[in-house]
Amino acid sequence: MKQRSKEFDPIAFRGKVQVVATSGPFDRQLFNAGIAFLKLNKIHPFYDAAALARTGYLAGAAEQRAAQVLKAFADPEVAAVWTARGGYGALQLLPILQGHVKELKKARKPFVGFSDVTVLHSFFVETCGMLTVHGPNITTLGDLDHRSQRHLISLLQGRDEAFRIGDRNIRTLRPGTARGIVKGGNLASLASLLGTPWEPCFDDCIVVLEETGEVPYRVDRFVTQLRLAGKFAKIKGLIIGDCSYRENHPPVDKQVDPRLIVERSGIGKGVPVMAGFPVGHGAKNMAFLLGAVATMDAESKTLSY
């Protein structure tokens, strides 16, 4: 609790929040709904014309997207940085951001987003020593259920109840408790970091995984790849979020059984595991901190900072 309160400054969200497009272009209707949600909750979002760029499946060239991030962190009037959407492309920014690590470490502003943005979370946590917020992108804010929306605002306001996450649908796959730094995010995005200079280290960490639109054999491939790279060998705990295939009634062969992830990860028998954690690409997407020390209790089905 001491580390969290020291590094996470909820008061910062009373200031200017810069919205940046780090990955793919976005639907303006969804984007506007997210901006309206923030304003309704007394958060003040701003964005440059560069955020509206579109180059095929990307929101502009890598240099343009990286420039948005660097400008937002350098601007003394910007209190926090929030991503517009995920998709693909954030990985392209890392070689550019690497040349500005000193400035980023000095700025240390709250950074919010998820999905493809996972690679930026990993970079900020691993390379810059930051604490970040794994939470909805601007374009997904309007589709959240009310509980996730309330939880997000409570977290940004620094209310104590927001730093203990639980849900009645969480399942205990392996009992036990663990304490460590929380890392992780989108499974495919994490796998894409393997073999790069920004490959994450999960030793002694609580790892959170979520995925969307991937059938079981592809999830198997990603998890196996991470295992063979040694990423699960020394983890303290595993939390599995939403890994559903986005169809109204997906057939059985498209539904990911979280036990598959546990089996393919090769984690030790004493590692606690929770599944059904309320995080991912669905209506439930509870914001939580990455880079902060927390305790997971697989029996009480909670993650507490």
Q: Pick the catalytic residue from 121, 134, 151, 281.
A: 281
Distant-in-sequence, close-in-space partners of 166: CB < 8 Å, separation ≥ 6? 300, 301, 302, 303
Strand partners, 210: 186
Q: Torsion-angle region of residue 222: left (phi > 0), alpha (psi -120 to 50) or beta?
A: alpha
210 is catalytic: yes
Interatomic CA distance for residues 226 and 193, integer angstroms? 10
CA dihedral 264, 266, 270, 273 (to 10 degrees): -30
Place of tokens 């999960």: 202
Interatomic CA distance for residues 62 and 22, integer angstroms? 8
Q: What strands, in cross-sheet order, belong to the sheet with 164-166?
A: 164-166, 302-304, 293-297, 177-186, 205-210, 237-240, 273-275, 171-174
103 is catalytic: no
Place of tokens 């303006």: 28
100 is catalytic: no
Q: Pick the catalytic residue from 23, 122, 148, 210.
A: 210
Q: What are phi and psi of 46, to 5 degrees?
A: -135, 155
Would you list the DSSP string of 151-169?
HHHHHHTT-GGGGEEE-TT
End-to-end CA distance of the chain: 6
Residue 26's nearest CA partner among 133, 115, 103 is 115
On the CB side of 69, how many CA atoms lie within 13 Å of its CA? Answer: 33
Active-site residue list: 115, 210, 281
